[in-house]
Amino acid sequence: MMLYAGKSLIAVLTLLCAVGTAYTAYCANPEHRAAPPGKRIVNRIAATVNGRPVTSAEVRARLDPYLRELLMLYPDRGPRFIAELVKAKGAVLKELIDRELVLSEFETRGAMIPETVIDEELNRRILYQFNGKRDLLLQTLRASGMSLGNFRESLRKETTVAAMRSSRYDRAIPPTPDEIRAEYNATKSDYRDITRDTITYDKIFIPAVGSDPNSTPEQQLALAQEICRRIKSGELSFEDAARTYSADMHAQDGGAWPPVARADLAVAFANIAFSLPIGQLTGPLLDPAGFTIVRVKSKKLAPPPPFSKVKEAVDDAVRRKQSEKRYREWIDRLRDKAVIRTFI
């Protein structure tokens, strides 16, 4: 796996800015980088399953949400970043291979998925992976070398597999009303409209290039790391650090931000921030302009939908959990007799 090993952060940041985003341009393999203007990404074959192709564009598009978060979390691109990226890439490729195993097994059944179902799944992906921002999905697809039509076809395959799985393994004893209600109570927040979430946090922003024009991103990253260390050790308060070092608009307020809607945040930052425990110092995180240190003060999540609106989806979730073991055993048997070749 080829990484940007040996390249300076300034080179990486320059490349990221050239394609308009620090999150979709960088990938673990050179073929995964966003294409320069006027160039077309070659959509290579990532794997074949009984002769059925899995394309590198599909892998890139699936990997992108994980990649954006990893890029923010590990700005030094150290061993942990590499390990997490390899792990995520392997999981994505395995999911796509499993999908083709099932489709290969059932390809003669001619299952038809209505366009309305594809539209619903597309909208769900936009909501939960892109904070409801359709333009960000389209930008990600362009950077991956994948068209919206190709992406819809990928979703069609996934929903077909879900339908096939349901027809094969969800015919056991149906879940009881109590089981469905218990699942709803445990997971109801997962069905909320996350774009209505709000968060309050303290923030320190260290620009990639400091007030000294000769400063480098490497030096600024080291500064951000040292500030984090001093705050965690108690040598420096967050508020004093913000007033002294931060280039953020709320620096003189000790870095304190008013409540911000999740929909107004970059998707990767929002996913990280909303996953943090209250009061935990995190950073430095990479963004297109520099490095961010954040401490979450409070979170207000959107209300969950009423049980009546999601009862069918919750029922499906219970059935999937009940059949998961048998389903995985079946996939393993398909894998054992399949001809699978991987090329990345």
Its domain, for residue 276, covers 194-300
- Please report the pLDDT score of residue 10 as a whole number: 34
Co-location of 288 and 322 in the same domain: no
Q: Does any domain span residue 267?
A: yes
Least Cα distance to 130 among 275, 269, 262, 267 occurs for 267
Contact yes or no for 130/137 (Cβ under 8 A)? yes
List the Cα angle 129/13/93 in 5-degree steps.
Answer: 40
Co-location of 175 and 156 in the same domain: yes
Which residues, in sequence order, are CB contacts of 157 under 8 Å at separation 6+?
99, 103
- Please report the pLDDT score of residue 87 as a whole number: 95
Supply the CATH number for residue 123's domain: 1.10.4030.10
Overall number of domains in the chain = 2
What are φ and ψ of residue 20, in 5° steps? 95, -5
Co-location of 247 and 213 in the same domain: yes
Co-location of 172 and 238 in the same domain: no
Contact yes or no for 292/255 (Cβ under 8 A)? no
Q: Which amino acid belongs to residue 213?
A: P
Tokens of 187: 């997971």
Per DSSP, 213 falls in state T
Co-location of 272 and 292 in the same domain: yes
Q: Does any domain span residue 68?
A: yes
Kind and range of the H or E run holding 73? helix 56-73
- Please report the pLDDT score of residue 117 as a whole number: 86
Q: What is the pLDDT of residues 159-217, one digit of tens each?
A: 888 877 777 666 667 889 999 999 999 999 999 999 999 999 999 999 998 878 788 99
Q: Does any domain span residue 290?
A: yes
- Residues 52 and 89: their CA atoms lie apart, in Å, by 19
Contact yes or no for 255/205 (Cβ under 8 A)? no
Q: Is 3 helix (H, G, I), strand (E, B) or coil?
A: coil
- Residues 224 and 293: their CA atoms lie apart, in Å, by 8
- Residues 344 and 47: their CA atoms lie apart, in Å, by 8
DSSP tally for the chain: helices H, then strands E: 11, 7
- Residues 268 and 186: their CA atoms lie apart, in Å, by 25
Query: Residue ranges of the chain with pLDDT lower than 70?
Result: 1-42, 107-112, 168-172
- Please report the pLDDT score of residue 109 as a whole number: 57
- Residues 46 and 335: their CA atoms lie apart, in Å, by 17
Co-location of 179 and 218 in the same domain: no
- Please report the pLDDT score of residue 33 as a whole number: 39
Supply the CATH number for residue 286's domain: 3.10.50.40
- Please report the pLDDT score of residue 30 as a whole number: 36
Co-location of 168 and 223 in the same domain: no
- Residues 23 and 36: their CA atoms lie apart, in Å, by 15
Co-location of 31 and 68 in the same domain: yes
Peptide bond into 36 cis (omega under 30): no
- Please report the pLDDT score of residue 153 as a whole number: 87
Angle of helix 307-337 versus helix 177-187 axis, rounded to 10: 90
Co-location of 155 and 207 in the same domain: no
Burial profile 2-27: b = 16 or more Cβ within 10 angstroms, e = fewer: ebbeeeebeebbebbeebebbbbbbb
Number of CB atoms found within 10 A of residue 316's CB: 16
Q: Does any domain span residue 2?
A: no
Q: Does any domain span residue 1?
A: no
Co-location of 90 and 236 in the same domain: no
- Please report the pLDDT score of residue 215 as a whole number: 84
Which residues, in sequence order, are CB contacts of 21 under 8 Å at separation 6+?
139, 143, 288
- Please report the pLDDT score of residue 233 as a whole number: 95
Contact yes or no for 255/238 (Cβ under 8 A)? yes
How would you classify the pairing of strands 45-49 and 340-342?
A: antiparallel
Co-location of 44 and 177 in the same domain: yes
